[in-house]
Amino acid sequence: MSGNIQLLNDTLAGAKAADRAALIAYLPAGFPTVDGGIEAVKAAFAGGADVVEVGLPHSDPVLDGPVIQTADDIALKGGVKIADVMRTVREAYEATGKPVLVMTYWNPIDRYGVERFTAELAEAGGAGCILPDLPVQESAGWCEHAEKHGLATVFVVAPSSRDERLAKITAVGTGFVYAASLMGVTGTRDSVGEQARNLVERTRATTELPVCVGLGVSDATQAAEVAGFSDGVIVGSAFVKRILDAPDAAAGIEAVRELAGELAEGVRKR
């Protein structure tokens, strides 16, 4: 089975045709449990997310702030494995027919085997992978297998990326470009700021790929602000925090659905 890069491309193009940004949710696999994580992804889609990134929990998540680190710790203590990540992708895709990506650091893939990982992700119906710490100059092996299996390769750009570097990254990436709007780690912010807008403009000058902004959006107002200058709004920590703050598992799932609904409304108000 080939991966679902075309579904991802069509979804992002559909949002653009509707004159709105796409809503992309991030949720870690295995959090709060494997089954609970699958239900959370389904709830995000039910609330209005266009795309969901499933995080592969890692013991040293350099890009992630304290909220996602807490969720990763819970998932790892629960014994989450790559097989559980693949199951999360499969069940979420089969239940919704919508694009599901995996976001992961490079080390787990390297240990698991690139061919094995890409083949299993495609077989599960995955649309691709976001690889925040894989240098473009070292990505040829990954990109070859991803292309063979019909998977998108999404790279992360940051405000510190020079224009020449942006062009190199966007020339190799597929699906969309993940613009990390603030220097530092993930987490909700009070204001998204001009830095994100500037990064989107500089990135767009190098590529036709959609540019989606993550790191910092936590409510509908911020989603609307970011939707005004980007092709997609990526929200992670705010979803995870809703689950962490919920009194029980069912309330956590409902909170995810509610937040997705609020954010989906926000991206339509740009």
Catalytic residue among 64, 72, 84, 91: 64
Specify the long-range contacts of residues 177-180, CB closer than 8 Å, at least 24 apart: 177/203, 177/207, 177/209, 177/210, 177/211, 177/212, 178/130, 178/132, 178/154, 178/212, 178/214, 178/234, 179/203, 179/211, 179/212, 179/213, 179/214, 179/230, 180/63, 180/132, 180/156, 180/214, 180/215
d(CA 37, CA 27): 7
Q: Is 248 a catalytic residue?
A: no
State yes or no: is 245 an active-site residue.
no
Contact 214, 254 (CB under 8 A): no
Give yes or no for a cis peptide into 32 (omega within 30° of 0): yes
Find the catalytic residue in 53, 91, 120, 231: 53
- Cα–Cα distance between 182 and 59 in angstroms, integer? 23
Query: Which residues are known catalytic residues?
Result: 53, 64
